[in-house]
Amino acid sequence: MDAKAGTAKKPRARGKARVAATAKLPRADAAPRGDARRKAILRALHGCVVSKGYSRTTLADVAEAAGMYPSHLLYYFNGKEAILEHYFQDVAEKIVSHLESFRQESPESQIELLANLFFAGEGIKKTEIGFMLECFGVAVHDSVLHEGKAVLDQQCKEYLRELFQQSPGRIMNDERDCAEIAYAMLIGLRSAVYFDEKLELPDAYRLFHSAVLRMAGYTSVS
């Protein structure tokens, strides 16, 4: 018997290959750390926009507020516009999530929850409304923000349409008309709170809540 033929070949050492492959994998804490940095950047942009406005906020301002170099920001986001787009998307997703959670309630309860969400909820204050108005202004020329706002508007109006559809006592036959008017009131009152010093959030809450209740047919509202 041939010695070479009778000798079993030794298996290739695969340890080094495994180590090399493993070395290329990201550390276990890399993703959480990246998420934390993205959130820090988003918070930094928010703070800058609230304090000095979007147009006067530079990438260097955001980087300084986040405790990073501008190059670090560009690793996570493709410029100042992209940071704002991501922030708006996060806010939009939270709003839609709230609306979805309201659906299991009665129309009357949903109207109260809706008024709370936009006029009395946690974190609702004039500066936050101002930030969203800044987003709307940028959306005029930013196609991503423009589309994002259009989608959010449609989702909110569809939610309102379904709410009024469940309200047989609504004052208008077409629930879509009710939804358009209610949403216009919501946006208009939030803008009025920001620009009209005489109108406070509790006033806007009362006006929106009572008007939408009446539109839904709850005429006993005082």
Burial 81-90 (b: 16+ CB within 10 A, else e): bebbbbbbee
CATH fold of 27-77, please?
A: Arc Repressor Mutant, subunit A (1.10.10)
What pLDDT score was predicted for residue 135? 93
CA-CA distance, 49 to 33, in Å (whole number)?
A: 24
Listed as own residue / partner, the contacts of 21-25 with beta carbons closer than 8 Å and 24 or more positions apart are none
Which pLDDT does position 127 carry in this prediction? Answer: 87
- Per-residue confidence band for 53, with pLDDT thresholds at 50, 70 and 90: very high
Longest dimension (CA), the chain: 105
Neighbouring CB atoms inside 10 A of 137's CB total: 14
Q: What is the CA radius of gyration of the chain?
A: 26
pLDDT > 80? residue 54: yes
**Structural domain boundaries in the chain:** 27-77, 81-215
**Smallest Cα–Cα separation from 53: which of 28, 80, 29, 19?**
80
The string of DSSP codes covering 155-206 is: HHHHHHHHHHHT-TT-SSS-HHHHHHHHHHHHHHHHHHHHH-TT--HHHHHH
Q: What is the pLDDT of residues 72-101, one digit of tens each?
A: 999 999 999 999 999 999 999 999 999 999
The least confident of 16-20, 41-45, 190-194 is 16-20
- DSSP codes joined into one string, 82-143: HHHHHHHHHHHHHHHHHHHHHTTS-HHHHHHHHHIIIIISTT-SHHHHHHHHHHHHHHTT-H
Does the pTM exceed 0.75? yes
Round the average pLDDT of the chain to a whole number and report it.
86
Separation between Cα atoms, residue 91 and residue 155, nearest integer Å: 13
According to CATH, the topology of domain 81-215 is Tetracycline Repressor; domain 2 (1.10.357)
Question: Does residue 140 surpass a pLDDT of 80?
Answer: yes
Instruction: Provide mean pLDDT across the span 21-33.
Output: 44
Residue 82 region, left (φ>0) first, then alpha (ψ -120 to 50), else beta?
Answer: alpha
pLDDT of residue 11: 45
